[in-house]
Amino acid sequence: MRFFRPCLLAALWLATAAVAQSFSSQQAADRFPSAAVGFLGTELPQMEAAIAARDRDYFEEAMARMLGFSEQWGFKSQDNPALARFPMCTEAVSEFLAVGMCRIMTTSDACEPGLATRFNANLQKCRELASRQ
């Protein structure tokens, strides 16, 4: 009986921690559109300046920031499945650098014709979601 009680307490603690983690992830997911818009709101003006200056170094540094942001929220690794309901925001964050690079390297095969239009539509939808929060 002495062994049973600590195991029961440990199991209850783990269950409580799992529920709290699930709630925390869900709560974080609800704030994701605002976080994505904030991230892009910081990056897009910097990217515009880099494009004007034809500064390709910006893109390398911004890639590291974008990967850090996506890792923090868990959408690239799919650690946060609750973000699946915000594809417009995850795609906007994922594609903004490609759109900017295509403005510098206009002849690149990777620059598909609808990329900028799709990015702008996703960004607008993400902004609309963020404004409702």
Q: What confidence tens digit (pLDDT) does each residue in 82-117 have?
A: 898 999 999 999 999 999 999 988 777 778 889 999
Residue 5 lies in a domain: no
26 to 46, 68, 93, 97, 118: CA distances (angstroms): 31, 20, 20, 28, 27
Q: Which residue has the higher pLDDT, 99 or 25?
A: 99
Q: What's the pLDDT score for residue 105?
A: 83
Q: What's the pLDDT score for residue 33?
A: 96
Residue 102 lies in a domain: yes
Residue 2 lies in a domain: no
CA atoms within 13 A on the CB side of 43: 27
3-state secondary structure of 74: coil
Q: What's the pLDDT score for residue 77?
A: 64
Residue 99 lies in a domain: yes
Residue 18 lies in a domain: no
Q: Which residue has the higher pLDDT, 125 or 28?
A: 125
pTM of this structure: 0.76
Residue 52 lies in a domain: yes
The CA distance from 85 to 29, in Å, is 9
Whether the pLDDT of residue 26 is over 90: the answer is: no
Residue 4 lies in a domain: no
Domain span at 99: 29-131
Q: What's the pLDDT score for residue 20?
A: 35
Angle at 76 between CA 102 and CA 47, to 5 degrees: 30
The CA distance from 21 to 123, in Å, is 29
* Run of H or E residues at 85: none
pLDDT tier for residue 7 given thresholds of 50, 70 and 90: very low
Instruction: List, for residues 35-88, the tens digit of each pLDDT value.
Output: 999 999 999 999 999 999 999 899 999 999 999 999 999 877 677 888 989 999
The CA distance from 75 to 87, in Å, is 10
Residue 44 lies in a domain: yes
Number of domains in the chain: 1
Which residue's entry shows tokens 């709290």? 20
The CA distance from 5 to 50, in Å, is 62
